[in-house]
Amino acid sequence: MIQPHGGQLIDRVLKGAALDEALKKAASLPSIPLDAEQTSDVENIATGVFSPLEGFLGEKDFRSVLDKMRLANGLAWTIPVILAVDRKTADGLAAGADVALLNPAGEPAAILHLAEKYGFDKAETARKVFGTDDTAHPGVAKIMSLPDVLLGGSIDLIRETPTPFQKYKLTPRETRRLFQDKGWSTVVGFQTRNTPHIGHEYVQKSALTLVDGLFINPVIGKKKKGDYRDDVILSSYEELIKNYYVPERTTMAILMMEMRYAGPREAIFHAIIRKNFGCSHIIIGRDHAGVGSYYAPFAAQEIFADFPDLEITPLFFRSFFYCKKCGAVVSDKICPHGKDHQIQFRGTEIRDMLVRGEYPPAELVRPEVAKIIMDEKNPFND
Amino acid sequence: MKKEFTAVSIPTSLYKEIEEAIRGTADPSVPNYVARVLRESLKKTGSQEDVFSPEDEEKVKDRLKALGYID
């Protein structure tokens, strides 16, 4: 099985006596409240999803990630995983001290071993990570709204924060064990934030012909207004898998993480995460992790040329459509017929049909999936 | 963007052989193939230290069973 990024899965989940001690200690430490997304970042660090990170980036790594898309040690890393606090909070914390990180319920979730505090240029960060400082971009808006000081240091997890989707929440240790148990030595990961249409199914099944197993890994967490609700995404995939996939060859687990919409940089980040889960391959489609028209349609594929040392193998897919003459899902590479015969998989059009209460044609969406979505009064994020 | 790689020389004939062998497979390039094979080889020599105890392993197995992922 593929090695974790950096060679070793990080495990910073406290257990036994160390956990008891940390719980006692946390009550008397200065504390920082985390939102749901930051809490997910902490868990992802602690359970190895973000291996080799052991905490929030220090300044040297932060600068290196911005400038070189690599950690200071040269290992590929494209998205800064940071913890920002306001100046007043930062002034009250001493480098070298421990800080309790509180989950949204106000409970101690982790201890931060604060190593350093540093300032950062938000506009520069936005331009380097997102390729723009346009605040209409959701990732840019988030960066620009952050407080001014970044805290760097390793963390230790005290408490996992439960989700409504607990049965789909697996750590990399667990997915690796699962893949091993299934006898899969090669696994393709599929990142998604949408309900599936036939084009997605085609891509997943095409990729599966090359490897032993398919790992469907929906991103659960904060997304844009109008994106499908997390529970709707999971239910629609459950239905699709039940009716149309070989169970011995397919599995699904969630990734609790905020979408950054950083396009190419995020594609590399997503690949690293799937590598940590044990995937040997990852599907990268058109405009992966993009938003609006900020990125060229295939920029998220082209960036992989800069990372020949990534080890996980990207499988690039172009745009697909249903050709009425072929009677199948095809691409311009394999279909000789013209546009008159094509039905495009346009997410917005499919969404509009569903909103109007119309079943999309079976060439676009499986009827079982459409039913799941249409049975919901509002399947989208407000 | 500065790339931080180092070059390793292999015979041109071997490069071409690999290029031919990976055509139509999931390996997109010769460097990718070479990096993957070398990593696999290093793994076989036991270069990675496992940080998880047998008890942790058992817990992982039990949780996967409880969730219905494995029998």
State ipTM: 0.75
Domain residue ranges of chain B, discontinuous segments joined by +:
12-66
- β-pairing, A250-252 vs A213-220, is parallel
**CATH 3.40.50.1970 given to domain A166-374:** no
Q: Which CATH class is domain A16-157?
A: alpha beta
* Residue A270: both structure tokens together: 């997503």
Query: Nearest Cβ partner of A7 from B2, B35, B48?
Result: B48
A218 touches chain B (CB under 8 A): no
pLDDT score of B8 = 85
Per-residue pLDDT of chain A (382 residues; tens, 9 = 90+): 899 999 999 999 999 999 999 999 999 999 999 999 999 999 999 999 999 999 999 999 999 999 999 999 999 999 999 999 999 999 999 999 999 999 999 999 999 999 999 999 999 999 999 999 999 999 999 999 999 999 999 999 999 988 999 999 999 999 999 999 999 999 999 999 889 999 999 999 999 999 999 999 999 987 777 788 999 999 999 999 999 999 999 999 999 998 899 999 999 999 999 999 999 999 998 888 888 889 988 999 999 999 999 999 999 988 889 999 999 999 888 899 999 999 888 877 888 888 888 888 888 999 999 999 999 888 887 7
A174 touches chain B (CB under 8 A): yes
Residue A333, judged by CB atoms within 10 A of its CB (0-12, 13-18, 19+), counts as exposed
pLDDT score of A117 = 97
Count of beta carbons in the 10 Å neighbourhood of residue A78: 24
Domain residue ranges of chain A, discontinuous segments joined by +:
16-157, 166-374
Q: For residue A195, what are the CA distances in angstroms to A212, A285, A350?
A: 24, 15, 11
- β-pairing, A342-344 vs A98-102, is unpaired
Model confidence at B49: pLDDT above 50:
no
The interface residues of chain B toward chain A in range 25-64, judged by CB-CB distance below 8 A, are: 25-29, 31-32, 35-36, 39, 43, 47-49, 51-52, 56-57, 60-61, 63-64
Distance (Å, rounded) from C-alpha A51 to C-alpha A93?
Answer: 27
pLDDT score of B47 = 43
Query: Closest approach of chain A CAs to the CA of B12, in angstroms?
Result: 19
pLDDT score of A97 = 93
Average pLDDT of the segment spanning B21-35: 83
* Residue A138: both structure tokens together: 């959701």
More confident residue, A130 or B25: A130
**Cβ A308–B31 below 8 Å, yes or no?**
yes
Residue A159 falls in the annotated catalytic set: no
Query: Closest approach of chain A CAs to the CA of B9, in angstroms?
Result: 15
